């Protein structure tokens, strides 16, 4: 029996029109689609009618499919000749466990191809008209996870001093610690900040505030996970950003 193949597919931040042509082709070729929880279910229209769909969702605070089980399942399916599309939100290699899965698949002798996607830190910010880089304002962008596997916090003091736009994934649950760490690290309390929930989707909600007022602003707006947090002067470009900042300054 000919051995199958696994595609690690990035489905983007939500809007299906942000899928790449290569992602569309990979999903359409698949015998089995392993679908993450945050992926827009409209992508299933791209799959073949006979394709099997397996939910392997992962979301903070909810019961999740064990990572080891997902990796073993992909290896087993490919060894039986199946073409597998492991479809993830955003990009597989940006906080998507794609690196772990690539290593596990190659260790099992399985052919694997990475299909890049629009990561949330780019697609969601663009939906808010926030340029994560701007040559007159900041010297770069840092993508950071607010939820590490071992529970250790990033070096917020170093990030505060770095001069980059901060785009924080999975940071809602640890927001107070993040804001406190950045303030202690010297980032001004009046630094513009934004939070975007369900970015690029019709259900998108967002709020623009100062760093020190972000937690209260998010609570008042009813914004929770999944949300992307953006901190830096570029947030002033956000839709209605100037008015919102003036209101909380």
Show me where the domains of the chain are located: 5-115, 120-248
Give the pLDDT confidence of 148-194 residue by residue, as tens digits. 767 788 999 999 999 999 999 999 999 999 999 999 999 999 999 99
pLDDT of 246 reads 45
Closest by CA to 38, choosing from 56, 24, 21, is 56
The active-site residue, picked from 36, 91, 122, 128, is 36
Between 3.40.50.720, 1.10.3720.10, 3.40.50.11290, 3.40.1010.10, what CATH number should domain 5-115 receive? 3.40.1010.10
Residue 62 has pLDDT above 60, yes or no: no
| From 3-7, 65-69, 137-141, 244-248, the region with the lowest mean pLDDT | 244-248
Residue linked to tokens 């009618």: 49
pLDDT band at 61 (very low <50, low <70, confident <90, very high): low
Residue 126 burial by Cβ neighbours in a 10 Å radius (0-12, 13-18, 19+): middle
Given a cut of 80, whether residue 72 has pLDDT beyond it is: yes
Please indicate whether residue 72 is annotated as part of the active site. Answer: no
Tokens linked to 201: 């989707």
Q: Judge contact between 74 and 6, C-beta under 8 A.
A: yes
Predicted pLDDT at 1? 67
- Provide mean pLDDT across the span 222-244: 84
Q: What share of the chain is helix, strand, coil (3-state, %, to 5)?
A: 35, 20, 45
Output the pLDDT for position 87.
Answer: 98
> Is residue 15 annotated as a catalytic residue, yes or no?
no
Which residues contact residue 70 at a Cβ distance below 8 angstroms, ignoring those fewer than 6 apart? 34, 56, 86, 101
The sheet that has 192-197: what strands, in order across it?
141-145, 165-169, 227-231, 192-197, 205-210
pLDDT value for 63: 63
* Six-digit token string for 19: 């899928």
Beta strands in 75-180 (DSSP E): 83-88, 111-115, 141-145, 165-169
Asked whether the beta carbons of 26 and 48 are under 8 A apart, the reply is no
Which CATH architecture does the domain made up of 120-248 adopt?
A: 2-Layer Sandwich (3.30)
Looking only at the bridges linking them, the beta strands covering 32-35 and 52-55 are: parallel
How confident is the prediction for the chain on average, in pLDDT? 92
Is 146 or 59 the better-scoring residue by pLDDT?
146
The catalytically annotated residue of 74, 102, 170, 218 is: 170
Among 20, 238, 46, residue whose Cα is nearest residue 118: 20
pLDDT(242) > 60? no
How far is 136 from 169, CA to CA, in rounded Å?
25
Whether 155 is catalytic:
no
- Tell me whether residue 65 is exposed, middle or buried, using C-beta atoms within 10 angstroms of its C-beta: 0 to 12, 13 to 18, 19 or more: middle
What average pLDDT does range 100-106 have in this prediction? Answer: 97
**Which residue out of 58, 82, 102, 128 is catalytically annotated?**
58
């Amino acid at each position: 029996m000919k051995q199958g193949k696994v595609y690690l597919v990035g489905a983007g931040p939500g809007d299906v029109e942000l899928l790449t042509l290569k992602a569309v082709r990979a999903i359409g070729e698949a015998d089995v689609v392993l679908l993450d929880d945050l992926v827009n279910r409209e992508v299933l229209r791209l799959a073949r009618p006979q394709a099997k769909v397996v939910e392997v969702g992962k979301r903070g605070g909810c019961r999740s499919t064990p990572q080891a089980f997902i990796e073993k399942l992909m290896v087993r399916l490919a060894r039986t000749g199946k073409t597998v599309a492991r479809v993830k939100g955003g990009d597989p290699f940006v906080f998507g466990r794609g690196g772990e899965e690539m290593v596990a698949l190659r260790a099992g002798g399985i052919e694997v191809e990475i299909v890049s996607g629009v990561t949330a830190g780019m697609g969601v910010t663009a939906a808010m008209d926030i340029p994560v880089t701007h040559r007159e304002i900041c010297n770069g962008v840092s993508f950071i996870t607010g939820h590490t596997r071992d529970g250790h916090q990033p070096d917020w003091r170093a990030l505060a001093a770095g001069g980059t736009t901060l785009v924080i994934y999975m940071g809602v649950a640890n927001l107070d610690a993040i804001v406190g760490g950045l303030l202690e690290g010297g980032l001004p309390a009046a630094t513009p900040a934004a939070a975007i929930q369900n970015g690029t989707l019709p259900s998108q909600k967002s709020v623009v505030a100062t760093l020190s007022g972000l937690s209260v602003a998010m609570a008042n707006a009813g914004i929770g996970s999944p949300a992307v947090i953006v901190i830096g002067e570029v947030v002033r470009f956000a839709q209605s950003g100037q008015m919102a900042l003036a209101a909380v300054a």
